[in-house]
Amino acid sequence: MVSGTDLAVGELDAEAASAQLEDAGAVEILRWAIASVPRFAVTSSFGADSAVLLHLLSTVDPGVPVLFLETGFHFPETLRYRRELVELLGLRNLRDLKPVLTVAQQAGEHGGGLYLRDADACCEIRKVEPLNRALREFDGWASGVRRDQTDERADTPIVKRVTREGRELLKVSPLARWTAQEVEDYIDRHGLPRHPLAEAGYSSIGCAPCTRAVAPGEDPRAGRWAGSAKTECGIHIELPGDAVPLELSEGSER
């Protein structure tokens, strides 16, 4: 097994680590990451599947920082669920990542309903930039991305080297191999609470303006940015090199 305890993140062979962890359990992957990445965090949307990774983390180290993108557009149910899970699991280090602009300031600078006119720009302001800014404090992070979620995620490695603002970090996906059914089974087996909107057909939950319930048989992520070609907010897509800072002028329609 690759051990990163005596290696700087920049020296760690992410491909070799990923290959060696391919058949490992999620707890083993989290333990490896915590031991190998000096400053390690976990991101969570507190969405429909989030309880699994957070529960696993709570069994390994509930003090690991949990980063939540507080976009200002979440369903109230998501914010309540977040409080419930944090308390239930004893997560001791929840951090809200806030955009530079409040919702009102964004509307003032770029016009209201930017998510309708240019969702990529809105996600850049409210998700991508705040996450990249927060990651300055860390050497790597884990998220709950799974290969079965979308075609774009089908090749997700367990460990990947990524560049953010000129720094190399490790991105870890402990649940990459899990299926939606395994997530369901884990939630049931451990009696974890479900997101309050899950029963209403919200199988993938993001910001309220960009999320709708899905009908039985529909793709579980069909309710995200429904009616547009957009399928990702950008935080799980690796950019070639550094993320380019967004420069929007008033009313920009990028």
Diameter of the chain measured on Cα atoms: 52
Asked if residue 233 binds ligand SF4 (CB under 6 A), the reply is yes
Residue nearest to ligand SF4 (CB): 207
Lookup: tokens for 179: 């299926």
Q: Which is nearer to ligand SF4, 177 or 221 (CB)?
A: 221
Lookup: tokens for 192: 């974890």
Report CA torsion sign: 51, 85, 82, 80: positive
Asked if residue 122 binds ligand SF4 (CB under 6 A), the reply is yes
From CA 24, how far away is CA 54, in angstroms rounded? Answer: 18
Asked if residue 115 binds ligand SF4 (CB under 6 A), the reply is yes
* Shortest distance, position 73 Cβ to ligand SF4, whole Å: 4
Query: Residue 233 catalytic?
Result: yes
Asked if residue 127 binds ligand SF4 (CB under 6 A), the reply is yes
Interface residue with ligand SF4, options 157, 174, 206, 223 (CB under 6 A): 206
Asked if residue 29 binds ligand SF4 (CB under 6 A), the reply is no
Asked if residue 55 binds ligand SF4 (CB under 6 A), the reply is no
* Shortest distance, position 134 Cβ to ligand SF4, whole Å: 15
In three-state secondary structure terms, 30 is: helix
Q: Pick from 67, 46, 93: which is nearest to 171 by CA? A: 67
Q: In whole angstroms, how far apart are CA 202 and each of 47, 78, 82, 186?
A: 9, 11, 16, 19
Interface residue with ligand SF4, options 9, 26, 37, 119 (CB under 6 A): 119
Bin 57: left if φ > 0, else alpha if -120 < ψ < 50, else beta.
alpha
Indicate the angle between helix axes 26-36 and 14-21, nearest 10 degrees.
Answer: 150
Q: Which is nearer to ligand SF4, 120 or 139 (CB)?
A: 120
Catalytic residues: 233
> Which residues here bind ligand SF4, judged by CB under 6 A?
71, 73, 115, 119, 122-123, 126-127, 206-207, 209-210, 233
